[in-house]
Amino acid sequence: MARAWILKARPTGLPGNECFELADLPATALADGEVRVRNSWLSVDPYMRGRMNDVKSYVPPFALGEPMTGGAVGEVVESCADGLKPGDKVTHMLGWRDEAVGRAQEFTKLPSLGLPDQMFLGLLGITGLTAYFGLFDVAEAKAGDTVFVSAAAGAVGSAVVQFARLKGMTVIGSAGGPEKCALVRDLGADAVIDYKSGTPLLKQLMAAAPNGISVYFDNVGGDHLDAALAVANDHARFAMCGMIDSYNSGEPLMLRYAMRIVGFKLRLQGFIISEYLHRMSEFYAEVGPWAAAGKLHNLETVRDGLETMPDTFRALFSGGNTGKMLVRL
């Protein structure tokens, strides 16, 4: 019997167990053009929190009483469609469940690069794509730039650190705690800031970037964004990717250095990776060879079993992951 996580109630703050229900899915026969996929990896991402609210946003909210969705990798087990046959590995968006049924065009075959399947949810999937276009397109980062990236031990952040280093930038990453900071340094960051160390973030950033920063890749919002504003050089570009600090709190953002947006001609540009999906080939052309040559370190945190999904999701907001957060089925 296939099962899926259903959104039972809309959360306030951090979603408790009362918001989720693991439900049996009705047995369905495949229609013409459909396939059945046994999921092996589920992606667990901060943006999903936004979809649990009933608020118009860049992706529609999850419907109450319906299975949730998200990135997943699996193997075709039954096919009524041309082009996909049992045994094919695919990536798709019918996550939060152990079995996915859908039209063939909802599934993308994994290329044969000899890389771990789950990497197509991380560095070679939406996560990597987000880091890549956020950094190079939105922030227009190039060799010589000094890049500050928050949540640098996270999925997107750890990709940003690596891509920026591979392109000749100076990279400052922030992460919480000595272990994560050591990981970020291992990824090649020139300087690492431990935002849990007790030393004020801004003080640490000023020490790490005595000549200021030209690019900020924001995954966090809050104090990180404010500190970045405080040390931004003339014409610095901010890629605004996420604000995990605010997803559950609902607290307003407080910025002491907002006026520097005007005086230093800063650019803050929000972006959503779905607008870059048509440029996937550019991404693979550059990042594929890096991956194949072993130049990328695929940081991931893996938990096991569909039952763990809600807990794993909540762990994102207390820094429970390094790199990509995944559930293995």
Structure tokens of 28? 């369905």
The residue count for binding a copy of itself (CB under 8 A) is: 31
Indicate whether 40 belongs to the interface with a copy of itself (CB under 8 A).
Answer: no
Indicate whether 44 belongs to the interface with a copy of itself (CB under 8 A).
Answer: no
Instruction: Considering only CA atoms, give the Rg of the chain.
Output: 20
Indicate whether 270 belongs to the interface with a copy of itself (CB under 8 A).
Answer: yes
Stretch that binds a copy of itself, among 98-106, 116-124, 241-249, 318-326 (CB under 8 A): 241-249
Alpha-carbon distance of 208 to 222, in angstroms, equals 19
Coil vs helix vs strand at 6: strand
For tokens 């650019």, name the residue.
267
62 neighbors 52 (Cβ within 8 angstroms): yes
Cα angle, residue 47 at apex, residues 41 and 53 outer, rounded to 5°: 120
Q: Given the DSSP bridges, would you call strands 108-109 and 72-79 parallel, antiparallel or unpaired? A: unpaired
For residue 268, the minimal CB distance to a copy of itself (Å) is 4
Indicate whether 259 belongs to the interface with a copy of itself (CB under 8 A).
Answer: yes
Q: Given the DSSP bridges, would you call strands 34-43 and 324-328 parallel, antiparallel or unpaired? A: antiparallel
User: Closer to a copy of itself at the Cβ: 104 or 268?
Assistant: 268
**Three-state secondary structure readout of 173-203:** EEECCHHHHHHHHHCCCCEEEECCCCCCHHH
Residues 210-229 touching a copy of itself, rule: CB under 8 A, are: 221
* From candidates 85, 109, 265, 279, binder to a copy of itself by CB under 8 A: 265
Stretch that binds a copy of itself, among 3-11, 152-160, 262-270, 276-284 (CB under 8 A): 262-270
Stretch that binds a copy of itself, among 90-98, 125-133, 238-246, 281-289 (CB under 8 A): 238-246
Indicate whether 317 belongs to the interface with a copy of itself (CB under 8 A).
Answer: no
- Note the residues at the interface with a copy of itself (CB under 8 A): 50, 57-58, 221, 240-243, 246-247, 252-256, 258-272, 275
